[in-house]
Each structure stands twice: as C-alpha cells, then as structure tokens.
C-alpha cells in the first residue's frame, strides 16, 4: 500500500512537470499553418543526430539541437529563390517545442521556418488534418487524399488574413484556390455541387471554393519513438 502511494505521488509530480515544462501550441487550421510556414514538404527522414551548438555566431548557440537529414520527396512551399536544404534543425528540449520524435526511414508532412540559411521545424505550426486533431505531426500515409491534392495544387493559396474556420457536423470548412483538382469530398463552386463520386477539375470555375463533408480526421497515429543518439 505504501509503495502504491509513493508511485501515485510520483506519477502526479511527473505529470505536473510535463505540464510546466511542456510545449503548448495554439490550435490553427491547416491553411493558417501552411500560410505561416516558410516551407512545407513531404519528406523522408534519412538520419538524425543530437548536437550541442557552441558557436556563438550560430542562431542556436548554447543549445542542444536535433539535426535531421532528409530527402524531400515533394516540396509544396519554399522561400523564393532558395533551394530547400536537406538538413533541418529542431530544439532537443521539449520546453522549446522541439520536434524530436521523427524516425529514420519514415515519411512525414513537415513544415517549418527559415532563418540565417537554416531550415527549422518545431511541434507548433505543423499542418494537420484539421484544427481539432490531437496529432503532433502527420505521417505521410495518414495524410488524406483530399489534403494531398490541395497541397499539390497550391490550394491553400493565396494566403490572406483569415477568420477561424467554421465547424459543421465534424466537417471542416476552408477556402482553397479554385484551380485545385479535388478527388475526394464534396465541394461547392459558385453554388455548383461536385460530389466525391465524380472527380472534378474546377480550374475553369471562379469564386471561392468551400470544401465540406471531409471524412473525419484521423485522431491517432503511430507514436514515433525518439531514436536519436547524443554525440
């Protein structure tokens, strides 16, 4: 009994520690996170390592960083006139919102920032299925076909100031570029309905496109284990 009480107290203290030192991200729509990101890509993790940055001229000096080496399988967004890098930095510390759970040989939909010629990524700002998702990052196999088509056809652009998306019966409402090719879900263009039974190229349509009746987002993904080794 005494052992159980000690274990209970330990669990409570551990939980509180995670709450205090953990990272909190605001819930945003996929379009908002896409627009705020400097780069968005379908990547495969080749390798990763943990380093301590001691260079005082480095933007991450005096910190522990996970450095991923990746293969960009499909780049959806990148800084203009910049070739996207194959190395991506993220903080090792959870309090700094480091995304240190990505596994080698796994593919992800990843987004992040760009500063001082360094590509970065964090827990916050990842493009998820919707703004109610409990995921932290999407493995590529879990990205729904509709969202893949939106990404491939620049459907989240143009990026403008947007109000929060409305939620209707577990459906997501977003504005996308009318040149997108929609393969799943129902869409309405200028009051014309195109259902998922009929693939529709809406490139010639005008006006905003509202995607509705998207299938419920996956709320569980395989938990990626951190296999990084300190060097």
What residue ranges do the domains of the chain occupy?
A: 30-143, 146-212
How far is residue 112's CA from residue 92's CA, in Å, rounded to a whole number?
A: 15
3-state secondary structure of 8: helix
How far is residue 192's CA from residue 210's CA, in Å, rounded to a whole number?
A: 11
| Reported confidence tier of residue 36, pLDDT bands at 50, 70, 90 | very high
Half-sphere exposure of residue 195: CA atoms within 13 angstroms, side-chain side: 1
| Reported confidence tier of residue 161, pLDDT bands at 50, 70, 90 | low
pLDDT of residue 160: 77
Do strands 87-91 and 171-172 pair parallel, antiparallel, or not at all (unpaired)?
unpaired
Q: Topology of domain 30-143, per CATH?
A: OB fold (Dihydrolipoamide Acetyltransferase, E2P) (2.40.50)
CB contact at 8 A, 160 and 63: no
In this model, does residue 84 exceed pLDDT 80?
yes
How far is residue 54's CA from residue 58's CA, in Å, rounded to a whole number?
A: 8
Overall average pLDDT of the 48-73 stretch: 89
Q: What is the pLDDT of residues 218-228, one digit of tens each?
A: 223 233 333 33
Token pair 């967004």 is found at: 77
DSSP string, 96-127: GT------TT-EEEEEEEEETTEEE--STT--
| Cα separation values, 205 from 32, 175, 226, Å | 24, 14, 46
Continuous segment of H or E residues that includes residue 71? strand 63-77
In this model, does residue 31 exceed pLDDT 90?
yes
Q: What is the pLDDT of residues 90-119, one digit of tens each?
A: 999 878 899 999 999 999 999 999 998 999
Dihedrals phi, psi of 63, to nearest 5 degrees: -150, 160
- Cα 223 to chain centroid distance, Å, stands at 15
């Amino acid at each position: 009994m005494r052992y159980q009480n000690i274990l209970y107290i330990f669990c409570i203290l551990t939980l509180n520690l995670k709450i205090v030192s953990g990272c909190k991200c605001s819930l945003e729509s996929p379009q908002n996170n896409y627009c705020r990101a400097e780069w968005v890509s379908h990547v495969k993790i080749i390798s990763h390592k943990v380093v301590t940055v001691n260079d005082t001229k480095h933007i991450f000096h005096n910190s522990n960083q996970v450095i991923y080496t990746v293969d960009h399988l499909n780049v959806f967004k990148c800084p203009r006139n910049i070739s996207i890098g194959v190395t991506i930095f993220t903080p090792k510390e959870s309090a700094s919102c480091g995304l240190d759970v990505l596994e080698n040989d796994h593919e992800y939909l990843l987004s992040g920032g760009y500063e001082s010629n360094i590509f970065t990524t964090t827990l916050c700002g990842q493009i998820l299925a919707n703004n109610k998702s409990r995921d932290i990052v999407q493995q590529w196999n879990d990205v729904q076909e509709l969202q893949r088509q939106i990404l491939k056809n620049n459907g989240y652009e143009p990026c403008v100031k947007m109000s929060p998306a409305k939620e209707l019966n577990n459906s997501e409402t977003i504005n996308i570029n009318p040149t997108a090719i929609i393969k799943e879900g129902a869409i309405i263009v200028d009051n014309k309905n195109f259902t998922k039974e009929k693939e529709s190229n809406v490139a010639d349509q005008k006006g905003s496109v509202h995607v509705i009746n998207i299938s419920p987002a996956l709320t569980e993904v395989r938990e990626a284990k951190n296999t990084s080794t300190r060097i």
